[in-house]
Structure 1
Amino acid sequence: MPLYEHVLIARQDLSNAQAEGLIEHFTTVLADNGGKVVDREYWGVKTMAYKINKNRKGHYAFLRTDAPSAAVQEMERLARLHDDVMRIMTVKVDAHDEGPSVQMQKRDEREPRRDRR
């Protein structure tokens, strides 16, 4: 099955438990449609670069999935209809990276930036 990475942004006025419940809801949607969540991360409340629906901040969540495209389309459809989800971005990847995402790594654990010259 194809591999995907999803980033969800939920409203800032949700509690952490509600945001985790939202992630769990979309995990079950994928599982019900024949997919599985390989890894999931809750990044917390972060400030956005611009306002979305009059919100400056949002709860960020990251999912790595192994699911058929029909399951991903159903999850995205339900996310667009859900009032608490402001944005969702899905990217198809060739392989999942091992370990935590870049957002969860400490600065000294990351690979150094390459020189631009």
Structure 2
Amino acid sequence: MPLYEHVMIARQDLSNAQAEGLVEHFSTVLSDNGGKVVDSEYWGVKTMAYKINKNRKGHYAFLKTDAPSTAVQEMERLMRLHDDVMRVLTIKVDAHEEGPSVQMKKDERGDRGDRRERRDR
């Protein structure tokens, strides 16, 4: 079966438990249609680059799935109809990366990265 990665943004006024409940709900929709969720991550509330439906922030969730295209289409259809889901992105991948996603990894270099000292001008 094809491998997919999904990112979902839910409304900011939901609680963490409700946002994780959405992920579980859509995981069951996928499994009912013959697919399976390989891994799921809840990234938390993050600030968006621009407002979506008058919201500045949103609950981000990430799913790695192994499912037929019909199951993915049904899950996406239900996500787009759900009032609490603002955006959905689905990407077909050749293989899933092992371990946590980039969003979940801590930055080893710190917040500013590896910056050299500025010279006086």
Residues in 2 aligned to 1:97 and 1:71: alpha-carbon distance in whole angstroms: 22
TM-score by length of 1: 0.92
Structure 1: 5+ residue stretches without partners: 113-117
Residues in 1 aligned to 2:108 and 2:2: alpha-carbon distance in whole angstroms: 32
Q: Percent identity?
A: 85
TM-score by length of 2: 0.89
The Cα of 1:108 is off from its aligned counterpart by: 1.3
Match of 2:27 in 1: 27
Match of 1:75 in 2: 75
Q: In the alignment, residue 11 of structure 2 is paired with which amino acid?
A: R
Once the two structures are superposed, the pairs formed by residues 39-78 of structure 1 within 5 Å of their partners are: 39-78=39-78
Match of 1:115 in 2: none
1:2 maps onto 2:2 in alignment:
yes
More helix by share: 1
Considering only CA atoms, is the larger Rg found in Structure 1 or Structure 2? Answer: 2
Residues in 2 aligned to 1:108 and 1:30: alpha-carbon distance in whole angstroms: 35
**Over aligned residues, Cα RMSD in angstroms?**
1.2
Q: In the alignment, residue 62 of structure 1 is paired with which amino acid?
A: F
Q: Deviations over 1:73-96 (max 9, x none)?
A: 000000010000000000000000
